[in-house]
Structure 1
Amino acid sequence: MAFGRLERAKGSEPMSDINVTPLVDVMLVLVVIFIITAPLLASSIRLDLPKTDAAKPGDPPKFVTLVVDKNGQAFFNDRPVSAPELALALNDAARADPETEVQLRADQGVPYGRVVEVMGEAQKAGLNRIGFVADAPAAMPSAKPPAPGASR
């Protein structure tokens, strides 16, 4: 044995790679859990219902369109009508189905009083479901200042 420096065994060096095995294991467990539980969430009570001719699928909701143009002229289902004709048409629609919805489209220049008159006619006829139809605002172009030297 000689005097001098003692040699040490080299320790482990730090790893520079990420170990993804635990991540993959966890993800596979989650996938299995989702595969097992997804059908349970989507299922409903299964019944064997009796058959009858009286049962029919629900009809889509019925509606009539009522338009008031900028001059105050009323249109019922895109047909111009006078005040008595409008009342008669609304009464016929209410008699056919009291749950009929009135889709009211009015020009923004129409006085509020005229819109209320038309709504009142619909309510007198017994049609209380009134929907107001509007357009989505147009996308505003980005306001960029004109380039220097550009003419308008």
Structure 2
Amino acid sequence: MAMAVGDRDENEPMMEMNTTPLIDVMLVLLIMFIITIPVQTHAVKIDLPVPTDSQNNVDPEKNKVMILANGTITWNGSAVDLAQLAQYLEQTKAMPVEPELQVQPDPFARYFVVDNVMAVIKRSGVGKLGFVGNEQYARVF
């Protein structure tokens, strides 16, 4: 905003425009746009098995994959590597009724090892997958 200095007649019209109302309107619009912007959500995409109500999917046999704190991967209690794990998963996919796969990582297991195991499981296309032992994490964190 400019201030008139110098010779000016009182009856002469003011030549500068008052920009205060324009700035006020622009600030209100800015606040409205900030409020209406949708909140960005961080999501991890994971393909979960689709549940079905078929009685054939219920099987008493369950395979358990455990990831120990030292990085050892076990399949039903025996130590395996990622290649053997993939072979076992392919064998379970060939069964007439696919058994449930239970994954139980140790709370102190390295994320890299757990991530590799989950990648092998996802590539195999297992349909019945569950995480067990989540109550153990309540004591850790």
Q: Please, what TM-score do these two structures have when normalized by structure 2?
A: 0.49
Query: Which one has a bigger Cα radius of gyration?
Result: 1
The structure whose RCO (Cα within 8 Å, separation 6+) is larger is 2
